[in-house]
Amino acid sequence: MAETWVRSELWEPGIYVLRIQREHALNALNEQVLDQLEETLNALESKADARVVIVTGAGSKAFVAGADIGAIHGIPNHAAAEQFAERGQRLFQRFQDSPLIFIAAINGYALGGGMELAMALDMRIASKTARLGQPEINLGIIPGFGGTQRLSRLVGPGRALWMVASGEPVTANDAQALGLVDAVVEADELMAECMRRARTLAAKAPLALKAAKQMVAGSRDWTLAEGLAREATAFAQLAVSDDGREGTAAFLEKRQPQFRGQ
Ligand SMILES: C/C=C/C(=O)SCCNC(=O)CCNC(=O)[C@H](O)C(C)(C)COP(=O)(O)OP(=O)(O)OC[C@H]1O[C@@H](n2cnc3c(N)ncnc32)[C@H](O)[C@@H]1OP(=O)(O)O
């Protein structure tokens, strides 16, 4: 029977936790883990109540220590290597394009494919003990799951090239200074901080929350003109929605809104 390397559970209404639990290999991503990540994402997106997903790694040592090096070493030819990279890229893009909001709870090493996964998520909270980097160059390769592209967009091409070409990891505090992570907390505060953020987001009007995610996540790849056009359309849809009418009426009537997700 196949091992369960990825598990998701409902923590509170609207909030799920997705845990990668291949702890003996520091949660490294092999084909089975990638398959289970996709299956879990599909399942979460099918849940009408899901709003926010906290993604973390099992154990205290690693979030995800990379794609599985053994799997990479065993790739037989160029075509298979390209398929491996494209598979990871497609999956990570699905997290970015999803209507769900993903918070990375970086509980330890986020290296290679692990940092690439964290960068495809919507925000990144790191424990002080975390280390982040793209060490692939030390293996004679480069990132293949989107790391060169997303890192450059997050920290700028100069700093991105240094991290990819030196392969040197950075501390959580340095990652925050770079804009690579959004907050750094004590290890034993990590899940509490992620839950605090998740609760705030999960309480918002569902349609507006979904639009906020998709507009901001999309802005990473759209031209300004394309993003402005999409934003105007999304604003218009919400302004005339039941929730948009209810939210603005509630303000004018000085009462709390009752959003219904319509
Ligand atoms: C497209 C994407 C490409 C990529 O992501 S390429 C991979 C990029 N990642 C890396 O290069 C990091 C590789 N891992 C390490 O450098 C080290 O690990 C750490 C610094 C993270 C931790 O070192 P330490 O504390 O000494 O632990 P340990 O004994 O090296 O690891 C514990 C077990 O975990 C396995 N493991 C760690 N990382 C990976 C990995 N990325 N792929 C496969 N296995 C991994 C090891 O082999 C070992 O296993 P055992 O106990 O059986 O010897």
Q: By alpha-carbon position, which residue is closest to atom 42 of ligand 1?
A: 68
Instruction: List pLDDT tens digits, range 13-61.
Output: 999 999 999 999 999 999 999 999 999 999 999 999 999 999 999 999 9
Q: Is any ligand 1 atom within 6 A of the Cβ of residue 88?
A: yes
Q: Active-site residue among 12, 38, 82, 136?
A: 136
Mark whether 31 is an active-site residue: no
* Pocket perturbation via mutation, ligand 1, pick of 26, 63, 149 by most ligand atoms within 8 A of CB: 26
Chain-wide mean pLDDT for the chain? 97
151 — pLDDT class (breaks 50, 70, 90): very high
Q: Which atom of ligand 1 is nearest to the CA of 66?
A: 5
Q: Assess whether the C-beta atom of 65 lies below 6 angstroms from ligand 1.
A: yes
Tell me what percent of the residues of the chain surpass a pLDDT of 90: 99
What local confidence, expressed as pLDDT, does residue 24 receive?
96
C-alpha separations of 226 from 19, 101, 211, 233, 235 in Å: 35, 22, 15, 11, 14
Catalytic residue status for 226: no
pLDDT of residue 130: 98
Of 46, 45, 58, residue with least CA distance to 3: 58
The order of strands in the sheet holding 52-57 is 6-12, 15-20, 52-57, 101-106, 123-127, 183-185
As a whole number of angstroms, the distance between CA 56 and CA 20 comes to 6
CA-nearest residue, atom 53 of ligand 1: 25
Q: Is the CB of 28 under 6 A from ligand 1?
A: yes
Cα(67)–Cα(72) distance, integer angstroms: 8
* pLDDT (mean) for 72-83: 98
| Residue nearest (by alpha carbon) to ligand 1 atom 48 | 25
Among the four given CATH numbers 3.40.50.720, 3.90.79.10, 3.90.226.10, 3.10.150.10, the one describing domain 6-202: 3.90.226.10
**Ligand 1 centroid to residue 67 C-alpha, Å:** 9
Indicate if ipTM > 0.95: yes
Which of 116, 193, 231, 246 is an active site residue? 116
Quote the pLDDT of residue 2. 75
